[in-house]
Amino acid sequence: MGVLGAEPWSEEMRKRIEDSTGIKAYDIFGTSELSGPLFTECQSQNGIHIWADQFLVEVINPDTGEPVANGERGELVITTLVKEALPLIRYRIGDITVLNWDECECGRTHPRIMRVLGRADDMLIVRGINVFPGQVESVLMNIPEVGEHFMIIVDRINELDIMKVQIEMTDAAFSDKVTDIMDLEKKVGAALKSVLNIAVKVELVEHGSLPRSMGKAKKVIDNRKI
Ligand SMILES: [Zn+2]
């Protein structure tokens, strides 16, 4: 069993981890202000339970501060109900998620936060469209030739936002034939466009060539001066 959650990760990444290691991979969530990692998935692996007898949980529209409807995407806000010394009232965690109050398969009625899509401050606006690095990861992890490391680079050229994604190939997919690489770049670009609704320039790079980091990975370079 693996309990993983230093940074947001996608359902597709879970499948890759489980398939390649043979473990069950569970998501966990918490922040240092709330005493660290507090909330985990149950055996159903379908959302992280928030212990509703200890915490009042809300998901709000980050612009208006108003709670969104059940199942709608917004920013996570938590109020501690029993914490002493450092209670928090409507504390804005900054993560974008969906709150699900439906009873879980496991029988618990504590609400679940569904896959955290990223932090409100991770969200990129490219040509007026909201883009989360987690969406890019979801698309990439469904393409077997693509490795686990990628970098999103956004530039503004002649008043137009240009989004490029550099992606490491797996060693197995690496080819000496330029046409193979171009075909794969086209395939990845089309898959990204179908989900993000914007054109993305795809650049495949050799396995091991993108920077690695300890802890939270840096996945976005925004070169725009706005
Ligand atoms: Zn459950």
Check residue 8 and give its pLDDT.
74
| Angle 60-124-114 from CA coordinates, rounded to 5° | 45
> What's the fold here for domain 2-118?
Rossmann fold (3.40.50)
Check residue 158 and give its pLDDT.
86
Helix 133-141 to helix 178-196 angle, to the nearest 10 degrees? 130
Q: How far apart are CA 130 and CA 10, in angstroms?
A: 17
Confidence of residue 170 (pLDDT cuts 50, 70, 90): confident
Domain ranges of the chain: 2-118, 123-222
| Angle 31-33-39 from CA coordinates, rounded to 5° | 40
Ligand 1 midpoint to CA 84 (Å): 27
Ligand 1 midpoint to CA 52 (Å): 13
Local structure of 223: helix, strand or coil: coil
pLDDT per position as a tens digit, 188-210: 999 999 999 999 999 999 888 89
Ligand 1 midpoint to CA 93 (Å): 22
Ligand 1 midpoint to CA 139 (Å): 26
pLDDT per position as a tens digit, 37-76: 889 999 999 999 999 999 999 999 988 999 999 888 899 9
pLDDT per position as a tens digit, 66-82: 999 988 889 999 999 99
Across 126-140, average pLDDT: 89
Ligand 1 midpoint to CA 30 (Å): 17
Check residue 41 and give its pLDDT.
95
Neighbouring C-beta atoms of residue 184, cutoff 10 Å: 19
Ligand 1 midpoint to CA 77 (Å): 21
Mean pLDDT across the chain: 89
Ligand 1 midpoint to CA 9 (Å): 19
DSSP-assigned states of every residue in 68-137: PPTT-EEEEEEEESS--SS--SSEEEEEEEEEE-SPPTTS--S-EE----EEGGG-EEETTEEE-HHHHH
Across 18-42, average pLDDT: 90
- CATH code for residues 123-222: 3.30.300.30
Ligand 1 midpoint to CA 50 (Å): 10
Ligand 1 midpoint to CA 142 (Å): 26
